[in-house]
Amino acid sequence: MTPAARVQAGIEILDLVIAAARTGGAPADRIVSEWFRTRRFAGSKDRRAVRELVYSAIRACGDVPQTGRSAMLRLAWGNPELTALFDGSPHGPAPIGIRESMAGGGAAPKWLTQALTASDLGGGEIAALLDRAPLDVRINRLKTEPLELPEPGEPSIAPNGLRFPAGLPIDKWDAFLSGAIEVQDAGSQLACNAVQARPGEKIIDLCAGAGGKSLSLAASMENQGEIIACDTDRRRLSQLPPRAERAGATIITTQLLDPGRELASLDSWQRRADAVLVDAPCSGTGTWRRNPEARWRLTTKELDRLMALQSRLLAAGAKLVRPGGRLVYVTCSLLDGEGAGQVGNFLADHPGWRSEPIDLPAGRPRGPGLRLTPQHDGTDGFFIASLSSPC
């Protein structure tokens, strides 16, 4: 592909990403892969270059652009090399019209920027939400063989973490295939450490998804005790058993939950768990480094729905904690409504519960918990709170 043809390909993909953002369709990642699956003429260098253009254009546009072309024009603004590729060559984009408008810039839609600002994030912090994320892995201490990696990586801020540049084919490495390492953001690893899971404990991971945190907890527990990994999403949860097998984690049982009746299948666990982790479904404002188009998808209505769900799951999780046990609440959002405010409301409604200090090598206090941000901690954005149940 010529450089101009790559720009035109990026524009076409952006049109699909924009349409999907408006209608709740597939994520950008899947759209990019699908586009190339049906265009075999594109080599690996083309794919990398087009992908880079698409993601850079997504990052450059704060709100949903009108068209892929207007998004690419926003990216080209102040970039003479990219501007020159709008040259009307075969397969390339048409020349830029004199009055042609480009998409708006900024970090996020106005309402969302205001909500982040109201949650005490400054301009630099908000801009850093769109940085490129590194590739973090967790060394799985359940595997005792000496770790052999094609590249050494740098120790990350998480105790068992290593950091690599983005884009390495880690999923093909022997250490990944054997379960010796897991891909997991350093902030997510630290959120697991906040649970302070110990060997022999009984722990419920109420929103386990594909089990990234359950696997980490199993390692902290040295495979002794019991973890019940729950989720309402059958597809995500079904990814956990093969991952657990690869990781050598033998103490995890999965439990599919009924949305709205989450406790129905956990009846025997009432007031029994040493710790319950609520890694709540959230707006994901802290993960824009990986999913920058997520900020085009979020609406105030969806945010309200998520906050109501978080509040319900916190209350449900609390019922499963034994007297004196821990309820650890985590969101990968930096909006106070999903973090400090959410936990503040819980504490107001649940007399006797207390927020406990969290001892992590990163983060800053935020209300009754701790906040990690890309700019301050080099991790995805997280809010973490550890609450103790009345004895």
Ligand X SMILES: C[S@@+](CC[C@H](N)C(=O)[O-])C[C@H]1O[C@@H](n2cnc3c(N)ncnc32)[C@H](O)[C@@H]1O
List active site positions. 332
In the list 29, 226, 233, 356, the residue contacting ligand X (rule: CB under 6 A) is 233
Per CB under 6 A, 369 contacts ligand X? no
Query: Is the distance from CB of 262 to CB of 248 less than 8 angstroms?
Result: no
Per CB under 6 A, 232 contacts ligand X? yes
- Nearest distance from residue 44's CB to ligand X, in Å? 29
Nearer to ligand X, 21 or 330 (CB): 330
CA distance 225 to 247: 16
CA distance 270 to 180: 35
Per CB under 6 A, 366 contacts ligand X? no
Among 190, 130, 132, which Cα is nearest to 165's?
Answer: 132
- Nearest distance from residue 224's CB to ligand X, in Å? 21
The two three-digit tokens of residue 182, written as one number:
């897991």
- Nearest distance from residue 246's CB to ligand X, in Å? 15
Nearer to ligand X, 83 or 232 (CB): 232
- Helices within 222-265 (DSSP H only): 234-237, 240-247
Per CB under 6 A, 213 contacts ligand X? yes
Per CB under 6 A, 259 contacts ligand X? yes
- Nearest distance from residue 96's CB to ligand X, in Å? 41
CA distance 363 to 379: 10
Nearer to ligand X, 54 or 207 (CB): 207
- Nearest distance from residue 335's CB to ligand X, in Å? 14
Among 85, 48, 53, 51, which Cα is nearest to 71's?
Answer: 53
Angle at 91 between CA 85 and CA 93, to 5 degrees: 40
Per CB under 6 A, 286 contacts ligand X? no
Please identify, among the stretches 5-13, 78-86, 200-208, 266-274, the one whose residues bind ligand X according to the rule CB under 6 A: 200-208
What is the DSSP code string of 75-142?
HHTT-HHHHHT-S--TTSPPPPPTT------SSS-HHHHHHHHHTT--HHHHHHTTSPP-EEEEE-TT
Between the CA atoms of 222, 226, 232 and 234, what dihedral angle is there, to the nearest 10 degrees?
Answer: 70
Per CB under 6 A, 334 contacts ligand X? no
Per CB under 6 A, 279 contacts ligand X? yes
Nearer to ligand X, 264 or 391 (CB): 264
Confirm whether residue 231 is marked as ligand binding.
yes
Q: Are strands 202-205 and 226-231 parallel, antiparallel or unpaired?
A: parallel
Tokens 């042609």, located at residue: 100
In the list 170, 251, 257, 362, the residue contacting ligand X (rule: CB under 6 A) is 257
Return residues touching ligand X (CB under 6 A).
206-210, 212-213, 230-233, 236, 257, 259, 262, 279, 281, 313
Binding-site residues, in ranges, read 231, 258, 279
Binding-site residues for S-adenosyl-L-methionine, in ranges, read 231, 258, 279
